[in-house]
Chains A and B, each alone.
Chain A
């Protein structure tokens, strides 16, 4: 059963009651919430995601609700809870759905330490993965969204999850988060994309989420092998260009973007070094998304 199979009344009952057991790739999260925007966000963005049985094993138990006390009513806030604990400070009321999304990312990189997890977007074509490690503001999310709607399967816009034993990348397909101008760019570029209402004034600016394309969710169990590592950089007016990047630089970029590098130590070093060795590595600058996407098509076809 998937989320959109649930009648709205039943979805609401689940969220306000025992919880909705939502599967996203390898993990099942029991989500509770009385916040209408969260309920709407789930109905929209997770429509195609599997719902597990009530008595299933849940990896995470979370909720997004109003805090107890004054801020329940006065300048109402929302707070994320993980199994009864509150790991973050509350946020303003309208930010319920972004808070859920940030919380779900946090669950993975905090409680799934068996993986080597990078802060990086990752997509795949024919089982071959394209990894885009980059800090915020590099245009990574815009590029990721553009590619996800043009022939690349989204594995994640935020988390590249490596399984150390197999060195495969595990998909965690979830809504793509976009900020500020990016939202307009993708609306224009991919008219078929389904957007949540934009939420202004978050710490990251104006944030909106895009429902992941259907194939990303349907193929959530299909792992991928790293094939390309590209360090993207948006630069106004720049033509789309892929330049071979020195591998030592790429390896350091991967190391620096790994959430739990020190937990895995040598194991992470060897895993990332092997990926660097076997991947084609590039630096990428662009300003026009269509040009960028076309260039990646050529990359996938074997020449750029």
Chain B
């Protein structure tokens, strides 16, 4: 029997899948539940299949891997369909349709698409075209959600996206972004630059994705500035896969350091690399680590961030989350919003959220 780490089996399974052959039924039982809670069950299954290790999985856990892969495949089909519909609706817009996150990974066949679980489709449009895009989408059956005036302002004025859209007939979700960080954020990125650097997706006419450095920086930003941390480990896993893929080309590393510098994202890059290496041992050149060291925070902040993120970057499963998990998540939640909005707005936002929680009929789907 193989010694597995006491707590987080998911990272172990992703890092050393060849060791799973010796696992006991009880270990498999825990792995399946932890991986499911982290949104990584399909990824574990896909990894084992790709490495030819599927035969080493006992039939009972194998059924759960198959179930997760079946759902992931169905979601991929749905996202492809959605993208086709969105392309059709926006066919009069100039330029290609720029895909973000999972949608981009899927259509470009990038490693994070494998076994990835999707909830919605994300696209990036120029800010100047937002009105036209929204109008075209509505004509083709999409409707806005989050109808309270507060929520509408939250998205349109303060965040970097339209309120999430839902297609009335298909009940699918679409997020239209016009930047990758909020307008009011302390971290500012230039979405015009992102769009200029965007690249066509090979084999997919009319579709484009961010350049590799931008895609990776966006992935890091999404992780670090996200207030919804239940999928933090999955997002980190996506980042690990992107870095291994793009990082195979030596020129990628100086480019991402430079791009981060241009966009004021040095701190983001520092944290992103630090955490992904710590959890997934992602290979990277020593030069890059040194270059990022200059963007490190003060020692006290660094220690605090390390402590908070160590608690957040685990499967959100009761077998793993230790003392201080909820406090850590709350602090990171506050920090995420602090990064997104000025202090005054932040306080107001927290108050609104606290009052919403008290309402007995509050619909979880309308909460922000």
A residues lining the B interface (CB < 8 Å): 26, 28, 55-59, 61, 83-84, 111-114, 262-265
Asked if residues B70 and A57 are in contact (CB atoms below 8 Å), the reply is no
Listed residue (A28, A56, A57) with the most chain B CB atoms within 10 angstroms of its CB: A57
Asked if residues B67 and A112 are in contact (CB atoms below 8 Å), the reply is yes
Asked if residues A57 and B318 are in contact (CB atoms below 8 Å), the reply is no
Tell me, rounded to whole Å, the shortest Cβ–Cβ distance linking B188 to chain A.
38
Residue B247 at the chain A interface, CB threshold 8 Å: no
Other-chain residue from B61, B68, B71, B74 in contact with A57 (beta carbon distance below 8 A):
B61
Tell me, rounded to whole Å, the shortest Cβ–Cβ distance linking B68 to chain A.
8
Residues of A with C-beta under 8 A to B318: 83-84
Asked if residues B71 and A56 are in contact (CB atoms below 8 Å), the reply is no
Other-chain residue from B29, B58, B66, B70 in contact with A263 (beta carbon distance below 8 A):
B70
Residues of B with C-beta under 8 A to A58: 29
Decide if the interface of chain B is mainly helix, strand, loop or mixed: helix
| Complex CA–CA separation, A169 to B284 (angstroms) | 51
Residue B63 at the chain A interface, CB threshold 8 Å: yes
Listed residue (B28, B36, B63, B71) with the most chain A CB atoms within 10 angstroms of its CB: B63
Residues of B with C-beta under 8 A to A59: 60, 63-64
Residue B251 at the chain A interface, CB threshold 8 Å: no
Residue B340 at the chain A interface, CB threshold 8 Å: no
Residue B288 at the chain A interface, CB threshold 8 Å: no
Tell me, rounded to whole Å, the shortest Cβ–Cβ distance linking B95 to chain A.
32
Tell me, rounded to whole Å, the shortest Cβ–Cβ distance linking B162 to chain A.
26
| Complex CA–CA separation, A112 to B24 (angstroms) | 22
Asked if residues B33 and A61 are in contact (CB atoms below 8 Å), the reply is yes
Other-chain residue from A26, A111, A264 in contact with B74 (beta carbon distance below 8 A):
A264
Tell me, rounded to whole Å, the shortest Cβ–Cβ distance linking B118 to chain A.
13
Decide: A56 near B25, CB < 8 A? Known: A61-B33, A263-B74: yes
Asked if residues A57 and B26 are in contact (CB atoms below 8 Å), the reply is yes
| Complex CA–CA separation, A59 to B74 (angstroms) | 22
Decide: A57 near B67, CB < 8 A? Known: A263-B74, A264-B74: no
Q: Which parts of B12-39 form the interface with A (CB within 8 Å)?
A: 24-26, 28-29, 33, 36-37
When C-beta atoms are compared, the residue in chain A nearest to B70 turns out to be A113
